[in-house]
Chain A
Amino acid sequence: MVEIVFLIPLLTGVMAFFLPRTAGRPLLVVTGVIHLVLSLYLWIQRPQALLETYFSISAEGLLSLLVISLLFFLISIYTAAYLKKIEIRSERVFTGSMLLFLSTMTMVTLSDHIMVMWIAIEATTLASAPLIYTHRSAATLEATWKYVLICSVGIALALLGSVLITLSMDIGGVDVPVAFSALTGEAGRLDPLWLKTGFVFILVGYGTKMGLAPMHTWLPDAHSEAPSPASALLSGVLLNCAYLGIFKTNKIMHAAGLAHFSNTILIVLGLVSILVAATFILKQTEYKRLLAYSSIENMGIIAFGTGIGGLGAYGAMLCLIHHSLIKSSLFLSSGNILLGYGSRLIIETGKLAGRMPKTFVAFFGGFAGISGFPPFGIFIGELFIIIAAFRSGHYIAVGIFILSLCVIFAGFAKHVMHISFSDVNVTMRMEEKLIMVWPQYALLLTSLVLCFWIPDSLYQTIIHAVNSIGGGF
């Protein structure tokens, strides 16, 4: 009964629309707990799915599922406290959409059928659109419109890509279910031309959702206009879900012996994303947009690492996990800053270290983690990617990669220093509360622990996942 993991949030999500206003807050936390327990059960037992043609458990799916579950649980605790602090006109829609969003993302991680994957990824767009529109201003309207339209059109292209892969099955005379696992087994008999075309369309489609440049234009708007817990979910786990679609298609490409083709495109798109992020981070004026561009950078790093392969693919997987943990903690901290200062502009925020010391520790720790300081996992991931790139002889690409990382670090550090220490005259609107800080601490601590000690089953799962795309030591 694998399906129950996404059916429960679906049920509670629908319930939240009809329950009284404040009942949604405990419901979020309760669903988070149940989801976490069920995910751990799946992780340990690895049961069979009821609808085997559509759903199955894969290594990469399980990794994403566990990350989603842990993140949602911690974010739900934060959200329950957050909702007490701010006025949201339609709180029922907000909590309901959060739960439906969780349900659809879980479905992405468990789906095996190509079309079901598409359905689930499109459903995440639809479930998260009301989250972005929560504050009902003209700017949120614009962000939601861009998000829904750009992502829907992008994902429509992914549907075309999926259809083209079924075409490659027709021409190759392969008669298996249209599932990733079955296709990976029969990949050698698929028609290579149409498989390549399908991969390009799927990469562009899901890449739009993942925030790869140049299809990233919706991302900074949506992430900055959404309420902070929603931004944390969007950035922490939604991008991973889209990456999962690309990862699984890439698996078919590798099994079909077309790895060189898919790797080259991934490297190029990854580098373009990192370059775009480097350009825009330097002159950023809002801290939530700064974090959004950092997400684009990290997605670029992950795509780049996947394209490099070998040790790089392992590094990309590490970056994926640690980016989720650290970036969601940063977005939650940015929610505290927004509540405290009442402004999104970097120039109007200052002396965070003195005014909100607990949030400052979380924010600064998150910054250190995301920009690749040694004790955090992103550092190890990036190091592996760089080593692998040198080994495989991509000298120019890795040069651009390292240079962009330096530029991004410089830009990011400048802004964070301003937020943390510069003197700005403002009256604080909120005292920080412990409950709105410790979820961030828990996320950062998890990331820190995972650097020094990776449980064996987690390590095996990561290795198992990256082996299929030519990764590993």
Chain B
Amino acid sequence: MKNFLLSFVLFSSFAVALDPAVISAQQINAWEKIALKEIQKHRTAAPEKEFQLYMVAGRELAAHGFTDKSIHYYQQAFDHSSNADKSEAVIQLVNLRRENKVELKKALERAKTWFAAHPDTTLAQTKDWLAMMEGYAQGKTPLIEKTYRAVWARDARVAELMKEGKAEEAYKLLGARSLQDANINEKIRQDLLAAVALGKTAAPPLWCKPTMDRYPTSLTWSMRFCRYLEDWKAGKKSKESIQSVREQLKKENPERLYWADLLERL
């Protein structure tokens, strides 16, 4: 009876904490402390419910953007002694680590091992997804045209190639496209790669120029890129420098610093 009450309290505590209408980082922290303490104290009381709690906590925390905490609970679910289907935890532990290649590789290895040991839970979609993530982790994502995640896979591959300085290959992967309605990140990437891959005369008109004309005083990184490219195409010394572009990227968008390395090659 005591165990039942305890479980009920714990689940209810989490229920309130995870209600998106009331959720906040402070509440998550407060409730988490209580819950974890009790879970550790009564680990054997209701193991299946404990497993379910971990799963729901992982899922809800991911849905509300608490990635690190979500990883923690999915990991707890994965490590749990329960014999329940852990596919979701395995997949999510890969997905949530997609930004960190080192951690991603570890998670992928675990996923492959787990699905190999549980073939009855391995669906066609899971295999397809794991193959793509593995390719991505190795920096050679096979690009399956017209698949659900093709654009993501392509962009991931293009980023890899750009970091490796293979602008021509990256440009070939993107191809000549109409970007009139695309966002400015897409436009700058295309303009930059075309400039490096095709050279001053063969590169098409800059996609970023109409935006630059509308926002002549903007000092944001993309407009500095655009001004530099425009002047380079016109064969004149730009008032922007590689240094000014790099500095702006550092301030605004450091994860794209490698774009400046390619700009430097012009």
A and B physically associate = no
- The chain A residues found within 8 Å of chain B, CB to CB, are none
